Structure 1
C-alpha cells in the first residue's frame, strides 16, 4: 500500500510476472528509462519499509 500505482506495476511486471525490461516498457507504454528509474525507486522504497529479515541480501536464513 505504501508504493504508488506506478511502482507497484513495475515491480509486479519485473519480479512477479518475470517480464524483461523491454517487454515491461512495451506493456506499460513507458520508455525503458522510465521503467528503470521507477523500478529503482520502488526497490529503494521497499528496502526502507520491509523488515531486513525479508531481504535475502541481508544474510537472513533463506532455508527457514
Structure 2
C-alpha cells in the first residue's frame, strides 16, 4: 500500500467519523423533541384546566 492511498483512507475515516458525530447529534435532538411532545400529550406534570368550564377545578366546600 503506497502512502497516497494510506493518506486517502485516513481522510475518509475522519470524514466518516465526522458524519457519524453529526448524525448522532441530530438523532439525540430529534429524540429529545419527541420526548417533549409525548410528555405534553400525556399531560405530565400539573394538570391543565385551560379547556374546562367556569367553576370546574375550584375548591369544594363540604362543611354544609
Give the structure-2-normalised TM-score. Answer: 0.32
Which protein has greater RCO, CA pairs closer than 8 Å, 6+ apart? 1
Greater C-alpha Rg: 2
Q: Higher helix proportion, which one?
A: 1
